[in-house]
Structure 1
Amino acid sequence: MTEYKGYTFEYHHKFKKEFQKTFTRHQCPTIKSDFKLLYDILIQHLLESNKFESHVCMRIAGLENYVNVPAFIIKKFRCEGINKGVNSGFRITFLFDKEESKFIFVEIFHKNKKKIPDKNRINELFVKEIEISDELYEHEEAYLNSYK
């Protein structure tokens, strides 16, 4: 389990595969620092306003009733290595459990390959025992905490 600034970050096992595949294909060498910045931005919004602003991420509607934590999609993700700013086209879905201060990243995709997030994947997290990974890449927690 990756802990950073009092929050826990976990990853759906398919997210880890998509992460490697997406950023290898799009040649984003800055992905570790880009994701660290994403974590910092999400945490900053929680600390300042106790919620995620709509310009940062949008809540995903239409999930089953048994999904007991909110799901969000990030549509403006900056990948510095491809020089398109926040218009990189990447989409990231995640859940946030406020009580446990835990983020669970569920899906990452490019808008040209797919238009909407996989709501079934989110729903399945609450029905089945789905493998959740502790770290996104090797030594992630050490990397994140090295810049305190």
Structure 2
Amino acid sequence: MIEFEEIAPFKKDFKSLLKKYKTLVDDLETVKKVLELLPEDRPPFSYRIDNLGIESCVIKVKKIACKSLKGKGVNSGLRLVYAYFEKENRIVFVEVYHKNDKENEDRERILEYFK
């Protein structure tokens, strides 16, 4: 079983998005169930963020189904960035955001926590 963790900035992001998307807690639980079975990147739903110069596998999920965004399905626009530590069977959530709020993941945050 995979252990899930969240860094403090992720918790802040999540809390902020939760005000807008009331189903986000349930939506994240659904994502966790999928990651339990398939933690690696799976294009086009998710892909590795390369060229970071760190050992852990950092993955960005582009296709998250959010019930608050009716009719959007997995094209909700929500993005999730996490680090997968295969040997430790652990996933650390780094960032969650809506694609309309920002264009790309916060690479500085990723490097700060995993370098």
Shift of 1:54: 1.3
1:71 aligns with one of 35, 58, 63: 58
The corresponding residue for 2:68 is: 81
Q: Which amino acid aligns with 1:82?
A: L
Tell me which amino acid in the other structure corresponds to 1:107. Answer: E
Q: Deviations over 1:46-98 (max 9, x none)?
A: 4xxxx43213311001202xx11110101111111221211111111000000
- Do residues 17 (structure 1) and 4 (structure 2) align? no
TM-score (norm. length: structure 2): 0.90
Report the Cα distance in structure 2 between the residues aligned to 1:112 and 1:78, rounded to whole angstroms.
Answer: 16
Deviation of the 1:32 alpha carbon = 2.0
Contact 1:42 1:52 in 2 (8 A): no
Matched, 1:92 2:80: yes
Offset of residue 39 of structure 1:
0.8
Instruction: Report the Cα distance in structure 2 between the residues aligned to 1:54 and 1:79, rounded to whole angstroms.
Output: 19
1:95, 1:73 → 2: CA distance?
Answer: 9
- Give the counterpart of 2:110 among 97, 100, 122: 122
Q: Partner residue of 1:45?
A: 38
Please report the TM-score for the alignment, with normalisation by the length of structure 1: 0.72
* 3-state SS in 2 of match to 1:82: coil
Report the AA paired with residue 43 of structure 2.
S
* Unaligned segments of structure 1, at least 5 residues: 1-5, 128-148
**Percent identity between the two aligned chains:** 31
**Are the equivalent residues in 2 in contact too, given 1:58–1:74 (CA < 8 A)?**
yes
Max radius of gyration: which structure? 1
